[in-house]
Amino acid sequence: MHLMLVPGLILILLFAYLPMTGVMIAFQQFNPVKGLFGDQKWVGLDNFHYIFSMPNIWRVVGNTLLIATLKIVFGMFTAILFALLLNEVKNIMFKRVTQTVIYFPYFLSWIILSGIMIDVLSPSSGLINQFLGVFGIKEIYFLGENKWFPFTMIASDIWKNFGFNTVVYLAAIAGIDPALYEAAAVDGASRWKQTWHVTLPGMRMIIVLLMVLSLGNIFDAGFDQIFNLYSPQVYQSGDIIDTMVYRMGLLQSQYSASTAVGLLKSGVSFVMITTSYYLAYRLFRYRLF
């Protein structure tokens, strides 16, 4: 049985731990000609000083925190609410079809979905703007205006991913003892009271688990999504840490500075997930291991 773990462990070592040797680039004036283990010039924390001296760094961090936090909060709220509503549906066929429909976008890549969204949200011929035009509403540049772009990213990410979390919450609801509902009904509890006092407490552990895991992504606003949908005209509100690292590292060849940004992001994410795990144990006595 333990031998079955070997392929997975090899993949983790190759793609998760072995690349961590590149972290030392953040402390070097890296020259790719000399190679990763060549005679590179060590500069200490100079790359980190350079990062924090950049004029747009705090705007990028703010965009990342705003988009990532709202994705986590509203994504969890939407999935929990939809799971509770779907749990009340008695028609099994309708319930299964609905689960399949909301789950399907989760399997599509942002390459495909971005093409669909660009067509649907087009200011002139997009389906959404055509619908708004029926009511005399002026065209909205969802992907081209700074005030609309972040919320378009948040809404589209929730639409893509909430189906997966909904299925997880439905599984948690299915594990609740039916006798608890029967006892609540005997005591005169309405469906709302049963939901509040039986269903939600029964879902508490899985909610805490997903919340702990999601806080580790507080600086992960979704590179695949934003990279495929943003443009220079929405950098002010849509540029995030990952897209900035992409431009610095691959387009501008600032390998050391981009590595330093990535290292900082990973460090903050590690602190966040460790803190959330500690709070989950202290407040809810929940342990992952």
Provide mean pLDDT across the span 40-61. Answer: 89
Residues 6+ apart with CB under 8 A from 190: none
Does residue 129 sit within a domain?
yes
The whole-model pTM stands at: 0.85
- Provide the β-strand partners of residue 42: 28
b/e per residue, 189-220, with b = 16+ CB within 10 A? beeeebbeebbeebbeebbbbbbbebbbebbb
Does residue 228 sit within a domain?
yes
Alpha-carbon distance of 147 to 127, in angstroms, equals 20
Alpha-carbon distance of 245 to 252, in angstroms, equals 10
What H or E segment, with its residue span, contains residue 28?
A: strand 28-29
How many structural domains are present in the chain? 1
Measure the CA dihedral 210/216/221/224, to 10°: -80
Is a pLDDT exceeding 90 seen at residue 139? no
Provide mean pLDDT across the span 88-102. Answer: 87
For 21, the token pair is 């040797």
**Separation of first and last alpha carbons in the chain:** 20
Provide mean pLDDT across the span 249-273. Answer: 86
Does residue 18 sit within a domain?
no
Does residue 6 sit within a domain?
no
Range of the domain at 246: 42-284
- pLDDT, residue 268, reads 84
User: CATH number of the domain that 213 lies in?
Assistant: 1.10.3720.10
Q: How confident is the model at residue 125 (pLDDT cuts 50, 70, 90)?
A: confident
Provide mean pLDDT across the span 242-256. Answer: 88
Does residue 9 sit within a domain?
no
Does residue 16 sit within a domain?
no
Is a pLDDT exceeding 80 seen at residue 227? yes
44 phi-psi bin (left φ>0, alpha ψ -120 to 50, beta other): left
Q: State residue 41 phi and psi, 5-degree precision.
A: -85, 125
Does residue 14 sit within a domain?
no
Does residue 164 sit within a domain?
yes
